[in-house]
Structure 1
């Protein structure tokens, strides 16, 4: 129980730094604790069952979201307690950086899947490294800013705020460049194939069939997830730039609309369009290292063989 004899400034006083400019709602936090728990638990099952261990950052991000909203529940009992405030502020701040790391890893696997390494703006061997390093830098800056704020003094709160803003700008810059790289690859790959659907054989124990590579579906999922994370990051930058007494920090519903809902949307999106399809459709067939031209030639050869033609009679098929 908080000490009622302790002096607390007015929530509307623009000349002081207060933890919350409103009374934190308990119901909203509980709703998102349940929501994030359900989608995070499903991601845990999907990661284990499909062995998509590279998607663990998203799972950890989901756990951060859950704990963060637990912090907001605790703050609803005592909004002047520094511990719960730092818990929710720091974890809700850095969780999307972990979501971004997972998004970065998916693009490299899509490029591998279709054998389009030569069409990527950034070489595939550097693709994940560059963006994950940028994400780690952003994560560390935001974490450091939150850690400095945990000291609890007015100067530390202001200094931490500035470092967090730098971390958020780093995240936006790298994420913006990532969207450009993804869009550029999409455009180049589509032009290269002249809008034709890419086909490749899938081998089973008894039969050989043809299946469509689902690269477009997963690339569109990346676009949606990227847009959600970008909107949330811009919101956070504006929130911090407006200051402790800014309009966004004085109204709690903005946090739930532009952060909680958007990040929940990212997690649900990848529950539905799970990247395991990208890494398992052809993993057993060792197709990742097949260049695009060799893949097209292989498909053409199989089409001729299955059509029962040979020599000049098959020229019309290529």
Structure 2
């Protein structure tokens, strides 16, 4: 029977992690990982590669968590599960941010964006990278009583960046949709361009990641002795389940057709310029 062990006198865990729960989510994220890598390969949607890698991070994190069941005094399983589960949503976010730019270009609505589309994508992705690096850097500080507070502060800081970026992202997306509804483009009526479905998908997955990030902020603000970090079920309800839903929703409403619509727009533009030249 597994027992709670200390690492050099410091308890990394406040409970013995469930091998069954971790194993179930490792298996589910493994399925999501293969499904999303297959989607990237078959649709050539390279901008979704970060999302597939995020599924891989979730898979590794829950495998490490399952292995920690009998190794609560060991450092590496704790660090691995903490790092990979914590930063995986930042990789989901990278593909989500890039999808919005492609929605705008697919309907030729670049002028309706608050900022230039190329700058918009770069801004959100850079913010996402900052969040990733800050949260990832905290992993090496979470296993010593002398540095755990610093590590938790870094996690909270990285999560706040993520929440702010998602808030600005949602505002940008909503304003774009409102402007497009008032100033429609010919391309927005293309029945083969699922830009509305893709936009609604972005709202859904962004909301789920936002809820998860807020939970994580509360979790770390309450500290090592707080209820969330002392009870395992909170992680699975407010992180694992929500992130699994994100992978399912993104897969169902996969934004690969946006790239096809952008290509069609570019081809039509080339044909129009060629016709003008003949005239």
Q: How does 1:44-59 map to 2 (within 5 A)?
A: 44-59=37-52
> What TM-score do you get using the length of structure 2 for normalisation?
0.90
Task: Tell me whether 218-227 or 21-30 shows the greater mean CA deviation.
Answer: 21-30
Q: Which runs of 4+ in 1 moved over 6 A?
A: none
RMSD: 2.5
For residue 198 of structure 1, what is the aligned residue in structure 2? 188
Kindly indicate whether the alpha-carbon contact (under 8 Å) linking 1:112 and 1:289 is maintained by their aligned counterparts in 2.
no
Residue 233 of structure 2 is aligned with which of 227, 247, 253? 253
Mapped contact 1:17–1:244 kept (Cα < 8 A)? no
Contact 1:61 1:98 in 2 (8 A): yes
Q: How does 1:61-100 map to 2 (within 5 A)?
A: 61-100=54-93
Q: Distance in 1 between matches of 2:43 and 2:268?
A: 17
Unpaired segments ≥5 residues, structure 2? 273-279
* Bigger helix fraction: 2
**Larger Rg, first or second structure (1 or 2):** 1
Distance in 2 between the 1:90 and 1:288 partners?
46
Contact 1:165–1:237 (Cα < 8 Å) also in 2? yes
1:142-169 Cα shifts (integer Å, max 9, x gaps)? 01111333xx321122211111111111
**After the TM superposition, which residues 54-203 of structure 1 pair with which residues of structure 2 at under 5 Å, given as runs?**
54-149=47-142, 152-193=143-184, 198-200=188-190
Distance of 1:237 and 1:18 partners within structure 2: 21
User: 2-side partners of 1:30 and 1:289: how far apart?
Assistant: 51
Contact 1:198 1:212 in 2 (8 A): no
Which segments of 5 or more consecutive residues in structure 1 lack a partner in the other structure?
Answer: 10-15, 201-210, 295-318
Deviations 1:192-216 (A, max 9, x none): 239x99334xxxxxxxxxx353111
SS in 2 for 1:19: coil
Query: Residues 248 and 287 (structure 1 numbering): CA distance in 2 closer, same or farther, change over 3 Å?
Result: farther
Q: Secondary structure at the match of 1:274?
A: coil
> TM-score scaled by structure 1?
0.79
Contact 1:18-1:244 at 8 Å conserved across structures:
no
Distance 2:246 2:268 in 1: 27
Q: In the alignment, which residue of structure 1 is the partner of 2:244?
A: 264
| Structure 2 CA distance for partners of 1:197 and 1:128, relative to 1, 3 Å | closer
Alpha-carbon separation, structure 2, partners of 1:269 and 1:74: 29
Determine the C-alpha separation between the residues in 2 that align with 1:58 and 1:17.
35
Query: How much does 1:171 deviate?
Result: 0.8
